[in-house]
Amino acid sequence: MPLKTAPLQGLVAATFTPLASDRTLDTAAIPAMVDHLVDDKIAGLYVLGSTGEGPSLTQSERCTVAEAFVQSAAGRLPVIVQVGCESLSSARELATHAQQIGADAVSAVSPVYFKPDCVETLVDSMAEIAAGAPNLPFYYYHIPAVTGVNYSMVDFLRLAADRIPTLRGIKFTSTNVFEFQSCLEFAGDRFQLLWGLDEMLLSGLGAGAQAAVGSTYNFAAPIYQRLLAAFAAGDLGEARRQQSLSQAIVRAFIPYGPRGAQKAIMSMIGHDCGPSRLPVATLTPSQRDALRSDLDAISFFDAVDVGGLQSIGSNT
């Protein structure tokens, strides 16, 4: 049976890894980032995933970053450490490290160069990783648009239920809402499905999601908190309006490269995360200026200010 842990509720921030100008780690920036997320009532941290550039960091760097987030969280909110990489042995070692430092859960994405040839192999691969942290809940990170691994997640849960004793659920980053709902119906209260697309949060909630993991929750949490409150109150019109606001933000930054652009946005709200690690491109000064102008044009900075305006301009 999987570990009995309370289900996550609300927004889980997929955190950025702050880097100095020379692209070395800048862990000194992490405590203030975590404090900011706590203030925004974020329900948990998902570190070293796609947003955190985990696959671009060395084994040692990933351990250092994981430790910094666990220490900064200091028990105020749970920390999930993404440990997946091309080497299953290395991923297992990272899972062991996460358990040793007091993380609350581990997660792993599939290898992508040598892809699992079937769902059974995928389950076996995740079981190898999860065994490194036998006392922590494990979430498989399903992101087929990036990995190209797109087996049925219902089949994954069915096969993994007995093969991975610590399986807690799936971080589901796919537009396939009907598969997400099917997984929820199969999972019952044994597993949890974490919704993974910020710009489609309302769709995930409609299908039954209780928690969501996303990058834009780092700098636009007030919009999503209003969306969650409206949905809970049955005000679907307001929930749709808040979702539209988040989509306007995504449309603004996507042309600049989503990961580099979001790091730039973090600096604009007072939490400089530095450059990105190649092959993720860092925005040039002119691109940053243009992005700020685009965000100003939709009143982004007012919309994400808890005490500010409640909407983005109509020119979205």
Q: Which of 46, 139, 140, 141 is catalytic?
A: 141
- The total number of residues shown for the chain amounts to 316
- For 76, phi then psi, to 5°, come to -75, -25
213 marked ligand binding residue: yes
Residue 151 is a catalytic residue: no
Q: In the structure encoding, which two tokens stand for residue 37, read together?
A: 């997320």
The 3-class secondary structure across 27-91, one letter per residue, is: HHHHHHHHHHHHHCCCCEEEECCCCCCHHHCCHHHHHHHHHHHHHHHCCCCCEEEECCCCCHHHH
Q: Which of 46, 171, 217, 256 is catalytic?
A: 171
- For 194, phi then psi, to 5°, come to -95, 120
Residue 4 is a catalytic residue: no
Q: Which residues does residue 170 pair with via DSSP β-bridges, in sequence order?
A: 140, 193
Give the whole-angstrom CA distance, residue 38 versus residue 40. Answer: 5
Q: In the structure encoding, which two tokens stand for residue 218, read together?
A: 């780092």
Helix (H) or strand (E) holding 286: helix 285-297
- The residue type found at 102 is G
Task: Map residue 196 onto helix, strand or coil.
Answer: coil
- Look-up: residue for tokens 């500010």? 308
Q: In the structure encoding, which two tokens stand for residue 101, read together?
A: 């430092």
250 marked ligand binding residue: no
Identify the sign of the CA torsion 207, 209, 212, 217.
positive
Closest CA to 79 of 7, 2, 13: 13
Closest CA to 83 of 72, 71, 99: 99
The Cβ-side half-sphere exposure at 199, using a 13 Å CA radius, reads 11
What residue numbers does the annotated binding site for pyruvate cover? 51, 213
Q: Which residues are catalytic?
A: 141, 171
What residue numbers does the annotated binding site cover? 51, 213
